[in-house]
C-alpha cells in the first residue's frame, strides 16, 4: 500500500462585515470577512491543522487576523469537507482495527 502525504489550504468568503477604520487607507472603509484554513492529508484523508478569520478592506485588500472570540457568531458555522475534517478518525479506526486483528491472530495461533 502506497501512502501519499499532502497539505493544502483554502479560503471561504463570508461576505461583508461592516465598515471600520483601515490603517492602510487611513479612512473608514467597508470590510469583508474571510475564513482561512490549512490541512494535512494522508491518502486524501485529512486533518485541519490551522483555521482563522480575517477582515479584509474592500478597497486596498489589507487584512487583519481576528481572534476567534472577536468574530460575530453570524460568521461561525463553517462546514469543511468530511474527508478533511474527520479523515484522521478513519485512520485511527483502521489502525486500531489492524492492531486488534493482529492481536487476535497471535492469540489463536497454535503453538
Ligand atoms: Zn484599506
Indicate the pTM of the whole model. Answer: 0.74
CA of residue 62 to ligand 1 center, whole Å: 6
Instruction: Summarize the confidence of residues 99-107 as an average pLDDT.
Output: 95
pLDDT at residue 80 above 90? no
Under the banding of pLDDT at 50, 70 and 90, the label for residue 110 is: confident
Distance CA 39, CA 47 (A): 6
Question: 38 is written with which cell numbers?
Answer: 490549512
Beta strand pairing call for 5-22 and 27-42: antiparallel
Query: 19 C-alpha vs ligand 1 centroid, how far in Å?
Result: 11
CA-CA distance, 111 to 107, in Å (whole number)? 10
Each residue's pLDDT tens digit, 15-71: 999 999 999 999 999 999 999 999 999 888 888 999 999 999 999 999 999 988 888
Query: Looking at the predicted structure, is the pLDDT value of residue 79 above 90?
Result: no
Amino acid at each position: 500500500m502506497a501512502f501519499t502525504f499532502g497539505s493544502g489550504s483554502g479560503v471561504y468568503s463570508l461576505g461583508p462585515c461592516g465598515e471600520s477604520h483601515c490603517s492602510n487607507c487611513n479612512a473608514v472603509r467597508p470590510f469583508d470577512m474571510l475564513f482561512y484554513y490549512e490541512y494535512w492529508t494522508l491518502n486524501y484523508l485529512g486533518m485541519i491543522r490551522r483555521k482563522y478569520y480575517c477582515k479584509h478592506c474592500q478597497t486596498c485588500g489589507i487584512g487583519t487576523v481576528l481572534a476567534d472570540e472577536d468574530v460575530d457568531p453570524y460568521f461561525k458555522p463553517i462546514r469543511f469537507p468530511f474527508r478533511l475534517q474527520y479523515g484522521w478518525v478513519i485512520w485511527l479506526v483502521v489502525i486500531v482495527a489492524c492492531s486488534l486483528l493482529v492481536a487476535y491472530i497471535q492469540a489463536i495461533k497454535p503453538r
